[in-house]
Structure 1
Amino acid sequence: MKYIIFDIDGTLTNTTEIDDLCYTQAIAETFGFSNFNTNYGHYENTTDSGILHQLSVERRNRPCTVTEIENFIDCFCNLLEIAYEKQAHYFREIPKAGKIIRRLTQQDGLRVGLATGGWKQSALFKLQCADISIEGCSAASFAQDAFARRDIIGNTISKMNKRHNTHPELADIIYVGDGQWDYQATQQLGIQFIGIDNKKLAHIPDIIRIADYDELEQHIGLLTLTS
């Protein structure tokens, strides 16, 4: 059994820019924070929950309460919905992402999962806007499940293991992502990585990059042969 697990923003949906804008606005509106670092790749955990936790501890010397997180998610999702009504082009799929998900979920011996640093509510909304069906996916994990991306990915792996009553070798698990933090998480977990070809990964040597989803199945086959 092989697993392939996908990130969402920048990997399946072309939503990174609008996501960052709405996330920043939601922080300001919900918590009143200002003059904080909006280069979110520089936070200890580049996830919606990890960034919010770090900001709250640094600014208020305490973590967010459950109610505060719920209010933040409501605000953030409302901003995304408003943005979609005005600028739907910010919510397009990465070309052929929906097609590759459909193809992979139909293959014997391969199971598909999702693991994103975004909230469940916002992630599902963006997938819906991009017209990407995840009906055939085995499991998904989100920012609510952990602060660290490696733990979010690990949570999806655990769910897939339980659902399919199997424990594949780490070499048979592939994560597809678009950021350095995605690659680092796979290194921490000891699983394979395939990157979306972009400037965020340009400085990392010796990784597989794809510029088109038509290339993905070939690389999955090569990784399987070498594992």
Structure 2
Amino acid sequence: MKHIMFDIDGTLIQSYDFDEKCFMDAVHEVTGIAIKNDWEAYPHVTDRGILQTFIERQAPQYSLEELENRVKPVFIRNIEQTIKESPAVEVKGAKRFLMHVLKNNDYIVSVATGGWRETARLKLQSAGFDTDNLIIASSNDHHARIEIMAIAQAEADPSKGLPITYFGDAIWDVKACAASGVNLVIVGERVDHNQRILDYSSLEQSLSFVK
């Protein structure tokens, strides 16, 4: 068996841009401060990790717990309003690919996202994904992407004995997989990588990188 792990935004659904806007708008509404979106300069590009760095660099008057408790409900509201007006859209072939590996006994499947679990489920469901039996580790669990991935691994594969292939779309996915020794497949065109697919339209190509 093999373990396939997915990111969400930009990997399973085309939500990176509106997710970013909803998050930045929520932070600004709560604090009155425009958060800097040079994400590659943040040590942890997760919802919790970004707030942590935002506090250190721009808003030291807040504690992480206080700011997270205030920003998250506004962010959830922003996402709900956005997908109500325009439902989220899958990356081409993502639902078919995810369903294929979920039903195939050769694979176990999990999701490790830098977003909060509440908005992750909202976006996936909006795009037509069934999340009822999907293992999702998120920024609710930890501020560091590597740790979120480890939590997803532990829940899906308690023995931690199966090789992992992670489908992601961003430079922080590259860094996390390199640091943890995880096989990476990049989805889309945001990052150059030796294993890359534009989308999941070819089931064979998508599976060819799973090791």
TM-score normalized by structure 1? 0.85
Q: How many angstroms apart in 2 are the aligned matches of 1:143 and 1:217?
A: 31
Instruction: Give the root-mean-square deviation of aligned CA atoms.
Output: 1.9
Contact 2:51 2:64 in 1 (8 A): no
1:1-227 correspondence runs (5 A): 1-34=1-34, 36-61=35-60, 64-86=63-85, 88=86, 91-137=88-134, 139-162=135-158, 166-169=159-162, 172-198=163-189, 200-202=190-192, 204=193, 207-221=194-208, 223-224=210-211
Q: How many angstroms apart in 1 are the aligned matches of 2:20 and 2:100?
A: 30
Gap regions ≥5 residues in structure 1: none
State the Cα distance separating 1:37 from its structure 2 match: 1.4
Letter in 2 for 1:102: M
State the Cα distance separating 1:218 from its structure 2 match: 4.0
Q: How many angstroms apart in 2 are the aligned matches of 1:217 and 1:136?
A: 25
Q: 1:64/1:220 Cα in 2 relative to 1: closer, same or farther (>3 Å)?
A: farther
User: Structure 1 runs of 4+ off > 6 angstroms?
Assistant: none
DSSP 3-state at the match of 2:121: helix
Q: 1:63/1:156 Cα in 2 relative to 1: closer, same or farther (>3 Å)?
A: farther
Q: Is the helix fraction higher in 1 or 2?
A: 1
State the Cα distance separating 1:67 from its structure 2 match: 4.1
Q: How many angstroms apart in 1 are the aligned matches of 2:142 and 2:73?
A: 19
Letter in 2 for 1:181: W
In percent, how many aligned pairs have the same letter?
26
